[in-house]
Amino acid sequence: MENLKDQLEDGFQHLKEMLEPMQKYVTPTSALVGLGAGLTVYWLIKRNKYKLPPGPTPLPLLGNYSLLASSNLMADCEKLTEKFGPVFTMYMGTMPMVVVNTIETATDVLVKSKADFADRFQSASVEMFSDGGKDIAFSNYTDTWKLHRKIAGSALRTYLKGNQLEEAIHGSMSKIIKLFDDTKGEPVVPHTFIDLGVFNILCAFCFQKVYNVDDPKFKHLVDVDNQLLAIFGSGFIEDLIPVLAKIWPSKRFTKATQLSAELFQFIEEELLEHRQSFDDGFQRDFTDTLIQARVQAENEEDTNLLSQLTDVHLKQTLIDIFFAGIDTTRFTLQWFFLYIAANPKVQKQAQMEIDEAVGRDRLPGLDDRPAMPYTEAVLHETMRIATVAPFGLAHAARIDTKLCGYDIPKGTTVMINHWALHNDPRHWKDPKTFDPKRFLDSDGNLGPKPVSWLPFSAGRRVCLGESIAKPELHLICAILLHQFDIMLPPGVIPDYKTDLCGIIGYNVGEYKVIVKKRL
């Protein structure tokens, strides 16, 4: 991740360039000084008005840029609890961000406070990517959000009732099995194969389509998605000074806008194609379910409902389900491959369980899941030790409220440090050790959900895709272990380096494994 200090310096250089045409009236330096002074005064007034949680001392205007620039932000935030307690405040520029680092406080925010913290962090980049908050993931807690959440949730439940999910996974994994077979036991970077498998499952769910690994559209979309994640992970000067996004966006913000437009175009084309071939009596996939909701509103001439089901709203809901589902799933599986290769005893025990439950003559199915608790525990432990969304999606206070006795003004950003929850030594013995047994009871069955395990969040903004992600991930992992031995190349020590880190995500860098067909 680029150093945030460099990002801020680039941003202020951008400001200086923007003000150069005005230099006959005022020098760029004096304008910047004036702007900085004004923002600093505003920041000090607002900061002293409320009793916010304590935190590391921020610099005027720049905030805690050195902390935010850390490549291990979630661990650094966890360490700060020793000095400031389970909740503290850091600043992105002049904007306070309250960080929650324990399950007890997270439960207060997500569950006990009901909807007090159910809004989302709003910024120039979020507004750009969500078409002004018309999606599910980033929009505030409104009636429109509730409607789209209800429609999407209903579609997911309908999908899970039949055998469509299993068929989609089996169809996608058949391609992946062949690709790994073709490696002939040679070391391979598994990322592209994983990306294709997950991409096709979501394509089948949303659009009833599948792609090959050499398909130009598949390659391009994954590349665009990766580029966009990297750019978002580095932050934008426009999120500190939102007016820049409208009057003079930086090159990075412009690039992010262009990349987003490419993803939007892909979704818009699929939506248009589905609308043209839509059959009211036969819903093929998730996209048809969304169109059906709009058709019903049209038939009922419900103008209020139609205003909440525009093409932009439908597009944004599809983007949430499709790309959010792809990214969290593929990053989890990339970590799974590395941890399972680095822990051969764990792998062997899971394979024995799968063989006993399924045999060797067919692929595992969704109905086999209850008979494979150890395999599920391996997945859960992967999701704990490699928390792919370390801060989840940032919340915001809907009203002036309290947390741990401190003031949380309306609109204040609140982030849950899921990584800290998953590494809290009060709840996890030897948290740095990969140990699936921690999720099992004394009889070897899957035990109750551990208190401090929260990969899908909780409360009103709990992950919409949790109900489909759990069986999907379990079945993918079971199929891979059923079909292959996954090993590190001889003499290779596992390298748990990351590509993205900080607020946006936590995914593993490229590594090689040997994927050998089991007999």
Distance between CA 260 and CA 224 in Å, rounded?
8
pLDDT, tens digit, 9 for 90 and up, residues 308-328? 888 999 999 999 988 888 889
Distance between CA 20 and CA 28 in Å, rounded?
6
The CATH number covering residue 118 comes to 1.10.630.10
Distance between CA 426 and CA 473 in Å, rounded?
28
pLDDT, tens digit, 9 for 90 and up, residues 182-215? 999 999 999 999 999 999 999 988 998 888 888 8
Distance between CA 74 and CA 423 in Å, rounded?
10
- In the block, which residue shows the tokens 């895709």? 465
pLDDT, tens digit, 9 for 90 and up, residues 82-132? 999 999 999 988 889 999 999 999 999 999 999 999 999 988 988 998 998
Provide mean pLDDT across the span 477-489.
Answer: 97
- Number of folded domains that form the chain: 1
Q: What is the pLDDT at residue 498?
A: 73
The number of angstroms, rounded, from the C-alpha of 484 to the middle of its chain's C-alpha atoms is 28
Distance between CA 267 and CA 139 in Å, rounded?
19
Distance between CA 465 and CA 152 in Å, rounded?
9
Q: 469 pLDDT exceeds 50?
A: yes
Q: What is the pLDDT at residue 270?
A: 94
Range of the domain at 375: 4-517
Q: What is the pLDDT at residue 484?
A: 97
Which residue did the predictor score with more confidence, 124 or 497? Answer: 124
Distance between CA 155 and CA 159 in Å, rounded?
6
